[in-house]
Amino acid sequence: MWLIRHWRAWTRTAGRLLSVPVEHEPWPISDARLVDHEDTLMTSFGLPAMLADPVVHSSPGVNARLGWPGTRVATMTNVER
């Protein structure tokens, strides 16, 4: 479920990367069906196209509360998962 959690929002302002804490209840997730899809991003970089259909979920959303932004440097060691 870590793919659908969102505990931080990221933005760039005046050349600085800002991290904003996000609080919300768990997202209600249900299966969905993809109606139309055109994926050219991977092939535009010379990579092979996807071999399987993408996994798709849907949610009506939740109410979220945003905290105060703080300056952070995004690295693989300090990006919250």
Is residue 79 situated within a structural domain?
no
Could you tell me if residue 32 is inside a domain?
A: yes
Q: What is the 3-state secondary structure (H, E, C) of 8-54?
A: EEEEEECCEEEEEEEEECCCCCEECCCCCCCCCHHHHCCCCCCCCCC
Instruction: For the chain, 81 residues long, give each residue's pLDDT as a single digit of tens.
Output: 556 666 788 888 888 888 888 888 888 889 998 888 787 888 899 998 888 878 888 888 888 888 877 655 544 444 444
Structural domain containing residue 58: 2-71
Please tell me the total count of domains within the chain: 1
Give the global pTM. 0.46
Question: How far is it, in rounded angstroms, from Cα 24 to Cα 34?
Answer: 26
What's the pLDDT score for residue 49? Answer: 83
* 13 in a structural domain: yes
Structural domain includes residue 10 = yes
